[in-house]
Amino acid sequence: MNKYEKFPLHLHNSLTKQKEKFEAINPPHLGLYVCGPTVYSDVHLGNCRTFVSFDFMFRYLMHLGYNVRYVRNITDVGHLLDDGEDRMAKKAKVEKLEPMEVAQKYANGFHKMMDILNTLPPSIEPQASGHIPEQIEMVQAILDNGYAYEKNGSVYFDTVKFAKETDQYGKLSGRVIDDLLSETRELKNQDEKNNPADFAIWMKADERHIMRWNSPWSEGFPGWHLECSAMSTKYLGKTFDIHGGGADLKFPHHENEIAQNHSACGSHPANYWVHTNMLLMNGKKMSKSDGNTITPQQLFSGESEHISKGYDPMTVRFFFLQAHYSSTLDLSDDALLAAEKGFKKLMNALPLAEKLVAVSENSNYDLTLSNQIIEKCDQCYIEMSNDFNTAKTLAVLFELAGKLNEIDNGQIKIQQLSTESIERLKSTFTSFVKDVLGLKPEEKGNDKMDEVMDILLNLRKDARANKNWALSDQIRDQLAAAGIVIKDGKEGSTYTF
RNA sequence: GGUCGCGUGGCCGAGUGGCUAGGCAGAGGUCUGCAAAACCUUGUACGGCGGUUCGAAUCCGCCCGCGACCUCCA
């Protein structure tokens, strides 16, 4: 039996606003599309939380036995500012770079950060600028189907017509179409639209625009929402399993995406929509525009007024995992401090699990205890299959960590456990911590460092044996000043940074 | 203003109509030359007011407070 059959996934579908049993279209294959970043500046922490969230979903789906195709795009064209200027183009002017240099620069930074946070690369990472023909085709299809109109070389999606004829618009975001029709805000390029709720799917480039492509309508560029429709259709098909993104993309981005797919393909793009919630700081959404932000680099280095010290990237990942992806999470120094200690505690149990060896054929084991451990192992699956409840999964892993510690300190004798319970404990704990949740121990020193430390630790050991406390404390204190902490255990001393 | 969500112990943060979340901090203990680290044990809770119910922190209503979206957002 497949793991996904034994522990069927249930997830909250933003489209129906209900938790539903997940049914893949073509199991074990599974298509997952996630809206990626617009690469016009450095990634910020909110982005990081979102992509860490989809990373553990990707990891768990694979762990369950699905063959996942995870597509996450890079947006490098079409994302406009309030004044109508393209984000990429503006940055290119400011930094005196080619737009593609800007895209490459920040895409590189994004990938590096994803790597630091131990997220797996997606199966396909398409760029909007590399899929202009596909987007032009989609604009044409929407025009052919009568849900768009051309004005002066630009093409606009006819939201009003679509809403009236299909009863599909506004479903995801809970938007009331009448409210949208009465929108009165002053916005750029409004004059060409028949209605404020309409949106551009192709825009004619004015002379200041440097990013431009030929199309049947004008030399111009595609609208922001179009790339996801075109690329998800290309790589995952007209209807695929799961579409994800940050909650702030629900409207207008995802709503418009759905409208485009319906209009071009006549079908709903994804069966399940998953939205991750916002990262807050001081109770408010972390946002660059109002300065309520801290960069990942500042978080790691500690160079910020918001925190007292730097935090390891894995501590940050652990911090994200402690909350449910669909809840807002408030970043604070106290919370990070607590996460750091909790993460270390969990990681201390990892080698204990890895070194577990089942004793052969012991028939006098403690049945109750053994079953208790097996149940907790199953519980990890139950919790993750319950809408990816990482917070609860961690809680169960901490309970298992307690068992591992008890085995280690002799409170539980290995003979008390059945072979099955030992094997399950070992495999479940290690695979959930490392493969599913994507946590890894902090980097240790290299071999040379270990050799040097061995010399120092042996010197100190001799000093202690001779009751030369002055010397042993001097070694300990000076190493501490260099950021190396000596830990005296029963079986000798170890060190950490 | 419209739409939606949240309010849990000192802090963070899950969850459920009756059965321990978990982490951090606090308290006690083991270990230790001292300390640190590590490990074990452990108390305190569900914004306010009503209602439904044998029973609600969990469901419903109202109120208070907070936040998100409403064409920049992950």
Which residues, including other chains, have CB under 8 Å from residue A410's CB and lie 6 or more apart? none
CA A381 to C1' B19, in angstroms, rounded, equals 21
Q: Please state, in angstroms and rounded to a whole number, the distance separating the CA atoms of residues A313 and A296.
A: 8
Strand B-contacting residues in A 287-346, CB cut-off 7 angstroms: 287, 289, 322-324, 327-330, 332, 334-335, 337-339, 341-342, 344-345
Could you tell me if A66 and A123 are in contact, meaning their C-beta atoms sit under 8 angstroms apart?
Answer: no
- ipTM for the predicted complex comes to 0.95
Nucleotide with minimal C1' distance from the CA of A331 is: B12
What does the DSSP 8-state code read for residue A359?
A: P
- At A454 the pLDDT is 87
Asked if residue A220 has pLDDT above 50, the reply is yes
- pLDDT tens column, A258-300: 999 999 999 999 999 999 999 999 888 887 766 788 999 999 9
Nearest to A188 by CA among A82, A308, A312: A82
CA A250 to C1' B6, in angstroms, rounded, equals 19
Beta strands in A105-260 (DSSP E): 148-151, 154-157, 199-204, 220-222, 240-246
Tell me the C-alpha to C-alpha distance, in Å, between residue A450 and each of A350, A447, A453, A474, A479. Answer: 20, 5, 5, 20, 14
Q: What is the mean pLDDT of residues A227-253?
A: 96
Strand B-contacting residues in A 96-155, CB cut-off 7 angstroms: none
A49: CB within 7 A of chain B nucleic strand: yes
- Which ranges constitute the DSSP H helices of A223-332? 226-236, 255-265, 296-301, 313-321
A487: CB within 7 A of chain B nucleic strand: yes
CA A328 to C1' B43, in angstroms, rounded, equals 29
Beta strands in A277-373 (DSSP E): 279-281, 284-285, 329-331
Strand B-contacting residues in A 408-427, CB cut-off 7 angstroms: 409, 411
Question: A171 φ, ψ to 5°?
Answer: -60, -45
CA A83 to C1' B44, in angstroms, rounded, equals 55
Residue nearest to nucleotide B1 (CA to C1'): A179
A95: CB within 7 A of chain B nucleic strand: no
- At A189 the pLDDT is 52
- At A438 the pLDDT is 98
- At A186 the pLDDT is 47
Buried b (16+ CB within 10 A) or exposed e, A64-102: bbbebbbbbbbbbbbbbeeeeebbbbbbbeeeeeebbeb
- At A445 the pLDDT is 64
Nucleotide with minimal C1' distance from the CA of A19 is: B15
CA A353 to C1' B12, in angstroms, rounded, equals 27
Q: Which nucleotides of B are covered by protein (CB under 7 A)?
A: 1-6, 11-15, 21-25, 31-41, 66-74
Q: Please state, in angstroms and rounded to a whole number, the distance separating the CA atoms of residues A466 and A459.
A: 11
Give pTM, 2 decimals: 0.94
A84: CB within 7 A of chain B nucleic strand: no
- pLDDT tens column, A290-337: 678 899 999 999 999 889 999 999 999 999 999 999 999 999 999 999
Strand B-contacting residues in A 209-238, CB cut-off 7 angstroms: 224
Which residues, including other chains, have CB under 8 Å from residue A432's CB and lie 6 or more apart? A380, A384, A393, A397
CA A398 to C1' B44, in angstroms, rounded, equals 22
Asked if residue A360 has pLDDT above 90, the reply is no
CA A285 to C1' B36, in angstroms, rounded, equals 38
CA A275 to C1' B68, in angstroms, rounded, equals 13
Strand B-contacting residues in A 244-273, CB cut-off 7 angstroms: 245-253
Strand B-contacting residues in A 374-393, CB cut-off 7 angstroms: 387, 389, 391-392
- pLDDT tens column, A66-124: 999 999 999 998 777 666 677 877 888 888 888 889 999 999 999 999 999 999 999 99
Nucleotide with minimal C1' distance from the CA of A225 is: B71
Asked if residue A185 has pLDDT above 60, the reply is no
Nucleotide with minimal C1' distance from the CA of A288 is: B73
